[in-house]
Amino acid sequence: MSDSPIAQLLEAVDRLDAEAVSGQMSPEGSFQTVDGRRASGREQVRALLSDFLGALRSTKHVITAEWHFDDAWIAEVTASYELQDYLQVNDVPRVFVLRMASDGIGDLRAYGAHERPLSDHRTGEEGMWVGTRWIPPL
């Protein structure tokens, strides 16, 4: 196991183990997901992670570059996910920024680079996909 707290965290995420991930957090630690959801405190982090990991069948993270200075760690990561409905999302770029506290991870932020452009927003006129079914607009 690497001595990097990001590597240790991602190993627990790849096991889909929300308990192990939240156990690495400081009791007052904070977490921000790629999609902007936030949690503060170990219990809220556990709940947020349980929700996120519950949608997955599997996940894999590969650290491609990592930096460490004082109590801060930054990693570039390639992430792959298989959702419960078997949809696969592979090799999406991620960046994790982590700050350690004396009693665990004090702050963790995840950033992604596969989001849609701001100008690309749904109007509701195009229908939507629910799992593998297309639902036409009303």
Using alpha carbons, select from 71, 64, 69, 55 the residue that is nearest to residue 113. 64
* Strands, E assignment, 19-87: 25-32, 38-40, 56-69, 72-83
Domain around 115: 5-135
Split into its structural domains, the chain has a count of: 1
Place of tokens 């078997």: 86
Residue type, 2: S
4 HSE (CA, 13 A, CB side): 18
The pLDDT tens digits of the residues spanning 72-90 come to 999 999 999 999 888 888 9
pLDDT of residue 122 exceeding 90, the answer is no
If you average pLDDT over residues 102-113, what whole number do you get?
A: 94
**pLDDT value for 130:** 74
Which helix (H) or strand (E) segment is 21 a member of?
helix 18-23
| pLDDT grade for 108, boundaries at 50, 70 and 90 | very high
The pLDDT tens digits of the residues spanning 3-50 come to 899 999 999 999 999 999 999 999 999 999 988 889 999 999 999 999
Kindly report the pTM of this predicted structure.
0.81
Residue 17, domain CATH: 3.10.450.50
Q: How far apart are CA 99 and CA 84, in angstroms?
A: 31
